Amino acid sequence: MGSLIQELNGIDSGSFSFRYPITKDGVPTLGSLEFNLAAFRRGMEKITGFLDGARSMLIEYRGAKDSIGY
């Protein structure tokens, strides 16, 4: 998980390039970066799968905690 996040950070440390394809001056934010969309999708599926699992675990934890009166 950490290596996927570090790779994205290396490409877009300010988190602007993937949201905004050009700057206010019209300059492409990612320049001439060659981007493998299929690999990106696979990486994002891993990250979202992990986060969805963590979310489910927290919901279950909260439900168990509520049921025993904490």
What pLDDT digit, counting tens, does each position of 26-48 carry? 888 877 777 788 988 998 899 99
pLDDT of 57 > 80? The answer is yes
**Which structural domain range is residue 15 located in?**
1-34
**Residues above pLDDT 70, as percent of the chain:** 99
Does residue 16 contact residue 29 with C-beta atoms inside 8 Å?
yes
What's the confidence (pLDDT) of residue 70?
Answer: 67
**pTM for the complete prediction?**
0.57
Those residues whose C-beta lies under 8 Å from the C-beta of residue 70, and which sit 6 or more positions away, are none
Task: Round the average pLDDT of the chain to a whole number and report it.
Answer: 85
61 and 43 assigned to the same domain: yes
52 and 27 assigned to the same domain: no
29 and 48 assigned to the same domain: no
State the average pLDDT over residues 36-64.
91
46 and 57 assigned to the same domain: yes
State the average pLDDT over residues 15-19.
80
40 and 30 assigned to the same domain: no
69 and 40 assigned to the same domain: yes
